[in-house]
Amino acid sequence: MNIFARGLNSNRRWFMKKSLAAVGAASAEHRLLAQSSSGKLTKGDAALLRFAAAAEILESDFWVQYNELGGVQDNEASGGSGNPTYTAKLQNLDSDFPQYIHDNTDDEITHYTFLNAYLMSKGAAPANLDQFRTLQGSKATGSSGQPRLTNLMQLTLDTSWWTRYRSSANNPDLDPTFVFPQAVPGLASGQFTAIPRTDADLAPDAHIQAIANTAGFHMPTIEQGGNSLYPSMAQRASSVEVLRILISIGPTETMHFQTWSDKAGNAPPLTDPTNGLVFPDLNSSPFGGETFQTNLIMPEPCPFLSRSLPVCSIIRPTNTAGAAMGVVKFLTAMGLFIGQSAMFFELLGELAAEADNAKRRELRED
């Protein structure tokens, strides 16, 4: 049986137990919020927000790992102490890289914190993945060594979003079988670390730069997923307020995506001497042209809804069918969850299925 479908009844009982425990441990601020809020969420709206919160918890987990090693170290996003060598290689992509990592980390933490607090204010269970913080992260200088939810050290990256957003002829919503070329083909055909695993990864120079380049492409790869997820889920919301939440958080993911896609284009061309991973010069042959041009960071107009209509610059894809489960499969194929338990995948699959089963009713004011 598919790992996403096994044990859903027992897992639901575990999840509700953990969620209710979280509600019981809510801060005074959250309890006051609950007392002052009115109205209940539909089952579907709660499922949409709960899946979004779970996705943001996972996203926060790996952004914290990036921040510990390569971000600005302060009380807003604390935990590590920084790795000067890794940070310097990230700054080859942009001198402001540490600040951007820090701010992205802070953003994602506020997203899941808000979503869970809102769910609790409506009497609904929040997302809780704490039981699965079991993975070993980096042991390099700067890491806190805390157990993780996500694995940044065995990534397989689909970088076809690069050409998808530069295409003026194809849209995955209209052309689901069209294969968009990869920006960095090597990243899609192996497992590569985006952070130094130990201090041994800090040399040779081209190796640690390749690790920083991998991070530079992983960041927009992740953010383009959130870029599509929020508008896809918003189409299923029944409450105007839930719709407002989804279309208010979603654009910040788009801001993240455009920022990181711009920085990825600055990744120095090189070959990692330890594993043969090649980062090409995307502005030169055999790449080159508008399909790979690094400064084309705004979505090229493409067909939307129907080819009988004029092309339009849009987020793509935004088809709502199976959007949440698509995110789970996308993150799993990336290798982000290598080492996680079957129970983790079962819970994530259940959360996605419930979000995808949300049925939009006539929009109602809360």
d(CA 189, CA 10): 36
Placement of tokens 């400064």 in the chain: 295
- What is the model's pLDDT at position 28? 40
d(CA 109, CA 100): 14
- What is the model's pLDDT at position 362? 72
- What is the model's pLDDT at position 360? 87
Q: Are 297 and 265 in contact (CB under 8 A)?
A: yes
d(CA 275, CA 272): 6
Placement of tokens 């980390």 in the chain: 105
d(CA 53, CA 121): 14
Q: Tens of pLDDT along the chain (366 residues)?
A: 333 333 334 444 444 444 444 444 444 444 434 433 457 999 999 999 999 999 999 999 999 999 999 999 998 887 899 999 999 999 999 999 999 999 999 999 999 999 999 999 999 999 999 999 999 999 999 999 999 999 999 999 999 999 999 999 999 999 999 999 999 999 999 999 999 999 999 999 999 999 999 999 999 999 999 999 999 999 999 999 999 999 999 999 999 999 999 999 999 999 999 999 999 999 998 888 899 999 999 999 999 999 999 999 999 999 999 999 999 999 999 999 999 999 999 999 999 999 999 998 876 676
- DSSP class of residue 5 equals T
- Give CA separation, 199 vs 64, 203, 243, 280, 359, in Å: 19, 8, 46, 26, 50
d(CA 134, CA 148): 6
- What is the model's pLDDT at position 364? 66
Torsion from C-alpha of 101, 257, 149, 340, nearest 10 degrees: -140
Compute the Cα dihedral for 102, 348, 115, 248 and give only its sign: positive
Question: Where do the domains of the chain lie?
Answer: 8-356
Residues 6+ apart with CB under 8 A from 30: 117, 120, 121
- What is the model's pLDDT at position 335? 98
- Give CA separation, 193 vs 21, 275, 283, in Å: 35, 11, 25
Q: What are φ and ψ of residue 362, in 5° steps?
A: -60, 125
- What is the model's pLDDT at position 217? 98
Instruction: Tell me which H or E stretch contains 278.
Output: strand 278-279
Instruction: Tell me which H or E stretch contains 270.
Output: strand 270-271
Report cis status (omega within 30 of 0) of the bond before 204: yes
Torsion from C-alpha of 186, 187, 188, 192, nearest 10 degrees: 120
Count Cα neighbours of 268 within 13 Å in the Cβ-side half-sphere: 17
